Each structure stands twice: as C-alpha cells, then as structure tokens.
A and B are shown apart, each in its own frame.
Chain A
C-alpha cells in the first residue's frame, strides 16, 4: 500500500516535470525564438498562400518541374491523406516480385521520358516524403527543364547548385537536391 502511495506521488511529480514543464519550455523557446522551424518550415508563395514545407517533398509530373522520387503515399497529398497527413514506405523485401514489377515498369517509363534510371528514382523512399533527389538525377532533367521553360542549361544548373544540401561538415550523409525550393526558384525566375 505504501508503494502505491509513493508510486502515485512520484509519478504525478515526474509527470508535471517531464510531460508538462519540459515540453512547455521547448515549446516557448520554439515559438518565441525559432517560429519558422517550430511550425514546420512552411513555405509560402508571393501571394502568401502555403505551398508546402521546405523539408517535405511533393509530387511533380509536368515537364516544367524537376521530378521527385516515387512515393507510396503520394507525398501525403489528396483525400487519402486528409485530415491528419500520413507517412510511410513500401515495406517491400528485396526479393518481393511486386518490387521487381514496379521497378521494371518505372524504369520503362523513365527511359521513355529520356531519363536514364538511377537508384533514387526507381526505389521509393522510407518516409514517402523525401524532399531530395540525387544531383545526378537533377542533372539528367536539366535539358528538359531548360527546353520547356526557354532557359539556358546553365541558368538551370546554377539553381540546382543553390538548392543542393551538401554533406554535413562535408562528411556525413549524401548530397541531395531539394526539389520543392528548386521548383519554386524556377517559378520565380
């Protein structure tokens, strides 16, 4: 019985500390000092409408935009994602025939569109929200973008460089081109 009383008292005290005061502190710091990050790095266009988040990818299919990686959850777009938003990947094992069927179909589609398939364009991401493509995949799309927008290839390339997130400290991780800010930059040229 004494254990129950001490347990309840210590859990109530620790609850106030770790589930109320601690989150409150971080919340106040976030909203007070770093509101952009704390609210999800939301991007708006010139009219002030929300167009997405700098950290979250989007679906792009038209010729004027750089295409993203394939996503099993359609980048949390449409009715399936309402109202909470979703995340997730294929969970297909390397030997699953569904994976091979999907990869073959996607490779065919890309080759028809004049893009030599690479790993990041054939494989779906884990989150379904991957904002990046590899620099090689961006380069493979330069000609198409330049042509459909009437830009020079070098103009497009310089935007790619501006929107490439390098390795952390030049060492950790892989470089990635952030597709949404890149496409926004194309629109605002």
Chain B
C-alpha cells in the first residue's frame, strides 16, 4: 500500500498522530529511566536517599522480623541456596492458599479450590515472575488468593529478579555478591513498595476499584441482568505492571476497564512496566563505575525497541486486508482492541509487555496482525528488548561477554570484560544461559505439535496454530506470561509441560548467572593496556547488537517462518 496515496488521507493522519504518541512515550521513558536508575544505584550502594526518613523505621522492623539485621555477604553457593529455598517456601505457601481458598475469608462468590495442576501451574508461574494464567481471575480465585497469594508473589518474585541482577553486577565488578535476603527486602521496601503506593493511589483516583465487596448486579437500560466483577484491583494493578508480573486481576487483564479505565492509566501502566528494566541498565553502568557503558547499552535496546514498535503499529493501523475488503477502505485492525487505546497504543503495549517480560495485555495478542505476532514472539526469544525484571539486564551483560569472546577471537586478543579475563568457565555458563531457552521452548512445542488433536488445544487454524503453541512455551520459558489466549491451555498437559518451561527458564539461568558472577569476582583484575578491547564504544555496542540478532535469528528463525511469516503470506 502506498501511504502517500491521496485516497487514504485518514490512514496517513492516524499514522502521524500515532507516531507523535509513540515519540512522546519514548521520550518520557528516556527521561524517567535514568532517574530511577540512579536511585536504584544509591539504594544498593547503601547511600542516603530522600526516602530514608520514612522508610528506615519500617525497614528496621522488617529486617528484625526476618532475622537478617546484619546480612553477611554470601558465596555463590550460599546465594543460590538462599534464593532457591526462599522461592520454594513462597511456592508452598501460595499453593496451600489456593487449595484452601474455599475455607478462607474474602470469598463473596463462594469459589472452591481449583484443580491441583492449575494451582501448581499458577503457583510456579507467579513465583517465577511469569504470571502465565491458565484461568480467568474473576471466575477462579477469591479475593484472599488474589491479594494474599498472587499479589504477594508480585512483590517477592520481582524482588528476587532485582536481587539477582544486583548480585550479578557486584560479581562482575569484583565485589562480593551481597546477601540475598538483604537485597530481596531492600528491593521491596526501597523500590517496589514506595512506587506502588503512589501509583496505586493514582490509579484509584482515575477509576480503578479497590473494594472487597462482591460483584455488582445491575439491571441494564434494556432490562438484562449484568454482573460487574470488581475487587481490590488498584493496589494489585500497579505492582503487576511495576514488577513485570503481568498477571491480570481479571481474565482479560489491562484491556478490562477496571484495570485500565482510560488513557491516563494506560500511559502510567505502559511507562511503569518499562522503567525498572530500562533503569537497571543505567544502574549497572553506575555500579560498574562506567556510566557510559550503561548508556550505550540503553540506547542499543532503545533503538531496537523503537523499531519494533514502529513495525507493529504500522501493521495494526493498516489493518486486516480481508476485513478491509468488506469495509471498502483500509481501517485499523480493532479485533481484540479497545476503542480508547486504538491500534497504536495497543501495539506499543504489546511490544513493551513482551519485551519487558511483563506479560500484561491491553489487547489480544492472538488477534494481532502477523507483523505484531512476529515481533512479540521475537521479543520472547531475544529476552533483552529491556528484558525481565533484573534478569533481562543480566542477559544483556551475558551477550556482552559473548561478544567480547567472539571479537576477541576475531582480532586475536585475550577476551576481557570489566578488567577480568573471560575464560572457558564463563563461556560455558553463558552458553548454558542462552541454550536453556530454546530447549525449554522448542522441545515441548515439538512434542505438543506432534499430537495436535489430543494435546495442543489450538483454536486458530493454519500457521497461526503453530504460533499459538510456540508462543505459550516461549512465554513460559522467558517468564513473560502473555499468550495467544485462544489456546485451550487449562489442561493437565499444558499445566505440567508449561510448568517445566517456567522452572527451566527461570532457575537454570539464575543459578548460572550467580556462579558466573561469583567466578568473575574471584579473578585477579587485569590492568587495562593499549591492547585491551574497549567495550564502552559505539562500535562494540553495534557489534553486540548484531551478535544478539544473529544468535536469536539462528536459533528461532525456522519457527518464525513456520508461524507468523507463513501466516503473513497467506493473508496476502
């Protein structure tokens, strides 16, 4: 289609209006992320912040209650054990709440316990910061489960990710890893909770409910009975976005008017899901004593992010050629979209939520045009277009290490990163981190697709069906949680096989990251010489971007061709 064609001035003007919105959102992100990045650096360097006076008293109680008043630095092994044990305790607690929810309070609609496999999948999914949901919130979980189990894990799973990221950079820069419990608590009391309190009040004022009353019953103007689900949403919604959790209070997530009622809340929720992963990159630069390195990586990701948004938005604005024939003119694809967000802000959200591993949606990804399907999948495969809470930033540094190694081989220099030699152990661990991802996606997807009738639950015919299955495992392994939700995934097979991808995609990389950092911390620093390959240059950053895209493409291009690419050709 020729965009300059005078026969579609409406299309052109909505493109321009959309372009303007996207530019402003990106500008807001570029302005807010450094502020938060600097603040987070101060928190983990133990420097004073202006929140000290309010938070320090609360924090002392929390530290005393937890028994970690003087958290001693941990070794890699201790750190991994603390992380795994605490996550296991969370998982057991939450699983127990689900199974007992019928007997617990705040259950106005008389819900009973879900099936054990759904409860297990949900508990694993929320503990791993994924929030993949094989259920609808309003019909499955009581207010007690939503607040006491899911809302609780939204804080602790996000804080686990941040703690890992901070330990990782400490190790890379030759410092002790720190204490897991201290960082876990600090992430909550200093970062997640203060922002959530302010954000929840803002959402509340804008119309997001916060009530323990049951669903409202209305008699509509035409006499039908309408059941209006509601609940304690506002406090849940903000941490859902801020912590890259993404698990909706309601089945349809942030497309629901009670989760995201207007374009103020949509802007807030879009920016707030991006700020921590974007800011953490700059936190890294500060902690490593090389802010320039942080900024270079920030802009590298920023550019990929902006390009992805542009392509996805254009696809949605141009619309579905088959439906446009019925309409008689090119109109945006609004299937699964709300009028108030329109095609552009839904596309922005789709790219942001799959890039950051948030996984919340404000429109249906199953109904995105193939270009949107391609890019959301690509985000899940790459895992670094901002990336998950903490882990995404760590993956970026793994890619830097690999690029140092690759370029070192090419120019015949000893690969070094942040003044430390990259050796066999580092490359093995980095490879494990990158390889577990395709393993946790492609193998279960292949098994599921081998039994399309009994296992897959595919709801859309043709090539799109393949994407549905791959997307579900990619979303699980990347700890994202969004889905091509037409998929019939509330089955024993899906609950258990996705649980495998969730666990493998979360804990294998985390353990490898910690050991990688621990090993680096113990190395003798190498003095920088004229022969050292500098990593804080535009050239090196460009090579890194190339390495990321090539590695991603080599691993996942065949699947993308079978899914969204073939689908696009089919649509014509």
| Chain A residues near B (Cβ < 8 Å) | 3-20, 22-23, 25-27, 29-31, 34, 37-42, 49-62, 65, 69, 75-78, 81-97, 99-100, 103-104, 107, 117-120, 122-134, 165, 167-168, 171-174, 176, 180, 183-184, 187
Contacts and interface: CB of A to CB of B under 8 A. Distances in A.
B287 interface: no
A77 B181 CA distance: 48
A122 B334 CA distance: 8
A184 B221 contact: yes
B335 A56 contact: no
Given A83-B110, A85-B227, A119-B334, 5 more contacts: A10-B184, A27-B212, A37-B206, A56-B257, A65-B222
B520 to A, nearest CB: 24
Nearest to A132: B339
B415 interface: no
B186 to A, nearest CB: 12
A154 B208 CA distance: 34
A25 B184 CA distance: 22
Interface string B146-178: 011101100110000000000000000000000
B65 interface: yes
A10 B86 contact: yes
A40 to B, nearest CB: 4
B85 interface: yes
A182 to B, nearest CB: 11
A52 B235 contact: no
A87 B251 CA distance: 6
18 contacts: A5-B67, A6-B67, A6-B86, A9-B66, A11-B90, A30-B204, A53-B218, A56-B257, A58-B226, A77-B225, A89-B255, A89-B336, A93-B486, A99-B335, A133-B339, A165-B262, A168-B262, A172-B21
B152 A171 contact: no
B44 to A, nearest CB: 18
Contacts of B58: 17
B567 A84 contact: no
Contact of B207 (A41, A83, A183): A41
Contacts of B261: 41, 55
Shortest Cβ-Cβ A-B pairs, 8 listed: A91-B486, A85-B229, A173-B263, A10-B66, A168-B263, A13-B65, A30-B210, A174-B342
A117 B227 contact: no
B211 interface: yes
Interface in B260-303: 261-264, 266-267
Given A10-B68, A23-B235, A37-B209, A118 B85 contact: no
B38 interface: no
B151 A19 contact: yes
Contacts of A104: 326
B326 A11 contact: no
Nearest to A166: B263
A59 B206 contact: no
A173 B197 contact: no
A40 B228 contact: yes
Contacts of B155: 14, 18
A83 B339 contact: no
B391 interface: no
B139 interface: yes
Contact of A85 (B85, B228, B320, B570): B228
B266 A83 contact: no
Contacts of A180: 221
B367 A76 contact: no
A37 B208 contact: yes
A37 to B, nearest CB: 5
Contacts of B229: 76, 84-87
B222 A58 contact: yes
Given A23-B235, A83-B227, A180-B221, A126 B364 contact: yes
Nearest to B265: A168
Interface stretch (B29-37, B118-126, B395-403, B455-463): B455-463
B333 interface: yes
A14 B68 CA distance: 13
Given A18-B188, A30-B234, A129-B256, A103 B228 contact: no
Interface of B: 20-21, 24-25, 58, 61-62, 65-68, 81-82, 85-86, 88-90, 93, 109-111, 136, 138-139, 147-149, 151-152, 155-156, 181, 184-185, 188-189, 193, 196-197, 200-201, 204-222, 224-230, 232, 234-236, 239, 250-252, 255-258, 261-264, 266-267, 319-320, 322-323, 326-327, 331-342, 345, 361-364, 366-370, 459-462, 464, 484-486, 567, 570-571
Contacts of A20: 148
A8 B89 contact: yes
A80 to B, nearest CB: 9
Given A93-B567, A168-B264, A51 B218 contact: yes
Contact of B323 (A53, A56, A103, A172): A103
Given A27-B232, A93-B464, A128-B252, A4 B201 contact: no
Contact of A49 (B193, B213, B219, B224): B219
Nearest to A37: B207
A176 B58 CA distance: 44
Contacts of B263: 167-168, 172-173
A84 to B, nearest CB: 5
A171 B333 CA distance: 21
B136 A86 contact: yes
A38 B208 CA distance: 7
B217 A50 contact: yes
Contact of A18 (B85, B152, B262): B152
A111 B356 CA distance: 43
Contacts of B67: 5-6, 9-10
Contact of B340 (A25, A87, A99, A132): A132
A18 B89 contact: no
Contacts of B88: 7
Contact of A93 (B214, B239, B460): B460
B252 A127 contact: yes
A92 B323 CA distance: 13
B459 A91 contact: yes
Contacts of A99: 320, 322-323, 335
Contacts of A128: 252
B65 A12 contact: yes
A161 to B, nearest CB: 16
B322 A100 contact: yes
Contacts of A75: 220, 226
Contacts of B340: 130, 132, 165, 173-174, 176
A136 B551 CA distance: 47
A176 B339 contact: yes
A94 B369 contact: yes
Contact of B252 (A9, A53, A84, A126): A126
B370 A78 contact: no
